[in-house]
Structure 1
Amino acid sequence: MSPVFMLSLRSIANRRLSAALTVVAVALAVALLLGVERLRNDARAGFAQTISATDLVVGARSGPVQLLLYSVFHIGDATANLSWASIEHVAALPQVKWLVPLALGDSHRGHRVVGTTTDFFAQYRHGEGRSLVFAAGGPFAGATARVEDLFQTVIGAEVAARHGYRLGERIVLSHGGGAGEGGARFAEHADKPFTVVGILAPSATPLDRAVLVSLEGLEAIHVDWHGGAPIPGLKITPEQVRKFDLRPKSVTAALVGLHSRSAVFRVQRQINAYAGEPLTAILPGATLQQLWDLVGIAERALLAVSALVVVVGLTGMVAVVLASLGERRRELAILRALGASPREVFALLALESLLLATAGIALGLGLLYGAGAALAPWLAAQHGLQPSLGWPAAGEWRLLGAVLAASLVASLLPALRAYRQSLADGMTVRT
């Protein structure tokens, strides 16, 4: 083992308290830097996988990002609805394998209500092609002859946890987007409550915060409404709604799957050129990337802040080493007297800084994995993030290499000062 390396270890051990504080400072900075980078990548991956295995999202003529926001993320409102005739036209295209309509507009205690069909539970995919899983119960019955089946609902994991709902609970929907979504709540459909028949397992998607009902059930609660308000003097009971045609006249959007993904651009052009009414068909994956580019400025700023924290940590390390040079003047003079060259003194100080930085990086990785394992359940439950606890990725290794290189550069100042100081001490005549 090199004598310089052994001297560095002994010198660090002799100043164990200040060295330990320096290592902790570097470790916290490294843990923050890698933590932000990992959360940034996990958030991007989760964001991009909110919806998968869906080839097109179809809505009324609007911007692609706006269509994606209200149809998939349940943020904002549609500029217009699509007619049921348009839905039938798109579903009848020979390249279309399946189509799931979505109807938005109502809410429950701030959570969006999504009207759809039972095909939604079979066709919707998130992550890497994962299906929706039920924590309890199952899907609603859909279009059946029985009146009680109309008023069934499936709720997301967050809705159930926040309000303590269980199977068999009866809930009342409200007209309008709801206070929690920034919309106005006009009135409640208190005369036609829905029964919870299914609770979805957490999926880290907007469905965790959604209430799903059948399209017929959504039509049933509006049979005695007109223009967004109850019709004065008209009261239709749940038992009477089956006398009406509950087929929806319009919906908000539709998810579309194709037989072959190679036909996606051809089908997109056909839908966008439909003469019946102005429609927009978007590729969800490409639009998700556009949306991330819009909101990604904040995560890049957070990464820059964490990089500044690393700079502060390394600056603290330099300050500690510089402050110790005055106390170590005698030590360095003795080394010179024993035959150590100025270059060896320079190497000694540079090696000490590298050892402190390396120890800080190792401790930072330990803190990162420990905090990740401890906070993973909370992040998944509260924020829908699935933190990865695997081996550092290539980008993270590059960050660690940059930290180590920065520590080497930072060590040059105290090492150069020690070099000059030891050289001057060696040239000075003591009397």
Structure 2
Amino acid sequence: MNAALLSLAARSAWNRRGVLALVVASIALSTLLLVGIERIRHEVRESFSQSVSGTDLIVGARTGPVQLMLYAVFRIGSATNNISWDAAQMLAQHRAVAWTLPISLGDSHRGHAVVGTRAAYFERFRYGERQALALAEGRAFVDGIEGVFDVVIGSEVAHRLGYRLGQRVVLSHGDGAIAANDHADKPFKVAGILAPTGTPVDRSLHVSLEAIEALHLDWQAGVPIASMAVPADQLAQQDLTPRSVTAVLVGLKSRAAVFSVQRQVANHRAEPLMAVLPGVALDELWEVIGVGERGLLAVGVLVSVVSLAGLVAVILAGLAQRRRELAILRTVGCGPRTLLALLALEGALVTLAGVVLGLLAGALLLALGADLIQQHTGLRPGLGWPGADEWRWVGAVLAGGWTASLLPGWRAYRLSLTDGLSPRL
């Protein structure tokens, strides 16, 4: 009986395939939207959490933890103040510190951040599951005057701007909004191109700390001073020791010392400093952007509700035309409960078809558009089975479709035999 009922429901839906196809398409789109939002949410969170790993503390001028993470890791915004080179050296010499990576920010190139750092950055910096940076082409710069005009660019910078090894690059002071602030007198050469990481590293250009100092020897208060100009060929006679840096990434010998070092940094009397734990700051940052995430999910849920409402409307509208059909089924032995099950099963089949179509459409979009998504967003969603949270949304849509189809089924359940055989015109 169950197989016969399933066959009857499938044939009934097929006979009305023209109308139900629109409902299936609507449910497919809502499924695609829900599952897509969930996957994007997961990828964004993974991208945030994997932007830096293996770093125990990030030290900068005293500000908010979220703000420090934004400019030190994600290159968003700017620092309220720098920290002195003496403070950075103090951290490097601390007995509990294994390594430090000072970074200097503030310059840019065509909308991409320029990061001044040490050559050890390419060995010490970790992302994802403690993955090291890798060069797709070329080499890293070296500290000192030898590599002062070498730049190592991220994969996205190379892709968007079409840069290749050996190409000349002119950096800009600040955000580059004023052409007069370009460091045109000291061009750089692309020495290396990093492999993709899915982190802000892909959207950054990396130079040495000495290069940052060399660019600003003839600058004061953010303005170039013509009388202080230092030609590139005279940099060897200049002291290129950094005066200050934006932040310092710190790796400890033992994770057990993290709170002790954090407290000592906060109590540093020479200048106001703060040290944040990347994991804790990332959680706070995610809470800030979580409003947008919940808003996107709400939109997806509303679309799904509208789609399921359309399913109910179509089945209810069809009841008026099917009253004689249902009455005939009653005369051949189908009870009210069987009719209820028939319409509920029909609605479930339509919902299932829409969900399957939505999942297939999502897989096709990922297969064809993964490179485009990465190019424009920096994210590369994996092509694989939906995760646990995505399956929950799929289950919710299926349950919602079955539940929504109970209303037309209940209406059919209450139709009398004589009402179906003698319908009012």
TM beyond 0.5: yes
- Correspondence for 1:387 among 381, 390, 402: 381
1:80 corresponds to which letter in structure 2?
Answer: N
Further displaced range: 15-24 or 342-351:
15-24
**d(CA) in 2 for partners of 1:76 and 1:27?**
40
In the TM superposition, what whole-angstrom CA distance separates every residue of 1:328-350 from its partner, at most 9, and x where no partner exists? Answer: 12211111111211111111111
- Contact 1:176/1:185 (CA < 8 Å) preserved in 2? no
**d(CA) in 1 for partners of 2:373 and 2:318?**
42
- Whether 1:6 aligns to 2:4 is no
- Contact 1:203/1:384 (CA < 8 Å) preserved in 2? no
Aligned to 1:26: 27
Deviation at 1:216, TM superposition (A): 0.8
Aligned to 1:48: 49
Q: 1:240 to 1:356 in 2, by over 3 A?
A: same
Aligned to 1:313: 307
**d(CA) in 2 for partners of 1:6 and 1:173?**
69
TM-score norm. by structure 2 comes to: 0.95
Deviation at 1:243, TM superposition (A): 0.9
Aligned to 1:358: 352
- Contact 1:332/1:422 (CA < 8 Å) preserved in 2? no
In the TM superposition, what whole-angstrom CA distance separates every residue of 1:263-299 from its partner, at most 9, and x where no partner exists? Answer: 2111111111112211110011111111111111112
> 3-state SS of the aligned residue for 1:174?
coil
Deviation at 1:426, TM superposition (A): 7.0
> 3-state SS of the aligned residue for 2:166?
coil
Unaligned 5+ segments in structure 2 are: none
Deviation at 1:11, TM superposition (A): 1.4
Q: 1:375 to 1:254 in 2, by over 3 A?
A: same
Aligned-CA RMSD value: 1.9
Aligned to 1:153: 151
Aligned to 1:368: 362
Deviation at 1:24, TM superposition (A): 2.1
> 3-state SS of the aligned residue for 2:207?
strand
Further displaced range: 386-395 or 164-173:
386-395
- Whether 1:400 aligns to 2:380 is no
- Contact 1:342/1:422 (CA < 8 Å) preserved in 2? no
2:12 corresponds to which letter in structure 1?
Answer: S
- Aligned length, in residue pairs: 423
Q: 1:319 to 1:168 in 2, by over 3 A?
A: same
Q: 1:333 to 1:155 in 2, by over 3 A?
A: same
**d(CA) in 2 for partners of 1:252 and 1:362?**
51
- Contact 1:192/1:238 (CA < 8 Å) preserved in 2? yes
Within a 5 Å distance, the mapping from 1:112-191 to structure 2 comes to: 112-144=113-145, 146=146, 149-179=147-177, 187-191=181-185
Aligned to 2:74: 73
- Contact 2:327/2:421 (CA < 8 Å) preserved in 1? no
Further displaced range: 389-398 or 77-86:
389-398
- Correspondence for 2:261 among 247, 260, 267: 267
Within a 5 Å distance, the mapping from 1:300-339 to structure 2 comes to: 300-339=294-333
In the TM superposition, what whole-angstrom CA distance separates every residue of 1:192-230 from its partner, at most 9, and x where no partner exists? Answer: 111110112222222222221111111112222233223
Q: 1:197 to 1:9 in 2, by over 3 A?
A: same
TM-score norm. by structure 1 comes to: 0.93
Q: 1:426 to 1:18 in 2, by over 3 A?
A: closer
Q: 1:194 to 1:429 in 2, by over 3 A?
A: closer
1:50 corresponds to which letter in structure 2?
Answer: S
